[in-house]
Amino acid sequence: MSTSSSRYRLPLDRATEIRKEPPPVMTLMESAAFLTCSPRKLRELIALNKVRCTRIGPRIVIRREWLESFLGV
């Protein structure tokens, strides 16, 4: 099985790992993999204040509990 080398998606094995055992704090790319959406769509949700996030320097980071709250888990 080939893994994606796109700069807009995580490699397939890493995305699968995140869905199985998500870390407590994730980057935008990891969060998009967790939600199974594109980073662009996640940025839209953040801009609409539907998904909470914080910034550390230029990086967007999102807590797993915030994503689970968005999903209603």
Q: Number of structural domains, the chain?
A: 1
Give the residue numbers spanning the domain of 41: 1-57
**What 3-state DSSP class applies to 49?**
coil
Q: Is 67 exposed, middle or buried (0-12, 13-18, 19+ CB in 10 A)?
A: buried
Residue 25: predicted pLDDT: 97
- The per-residue pLDDT for range 11-35, each reduced to its tens digit, is 899 999 999 999 999 999 999 999 9
Domain assignment of residue 26, yes or no: yes
Domain assignment of residue 62, yes or no: no
Q: pTM for the whole thing?
A: 0.84
Residue 9: predicted pLDDT: 79
Residue 1: count of CB within 10 angstroms of its CB:
4
Query: 73: pLDDT confidence band, cut at 50, 70 and 90?
Result: confident
Query: Average pLDDT in the 40-61 region?
Result: 96
- The per-residue pLDDT for range 30-50, each reduced to its tens digit, is 999 999 999 999 999 999 999
Domain assignment of residue 71, yes or no: no
Q: Is 13 exposed, middle or buried (0-12, 13-18, 19+ CB in 10 A)?
A: exposed
Domain assignment of residue 66, yes or no: no
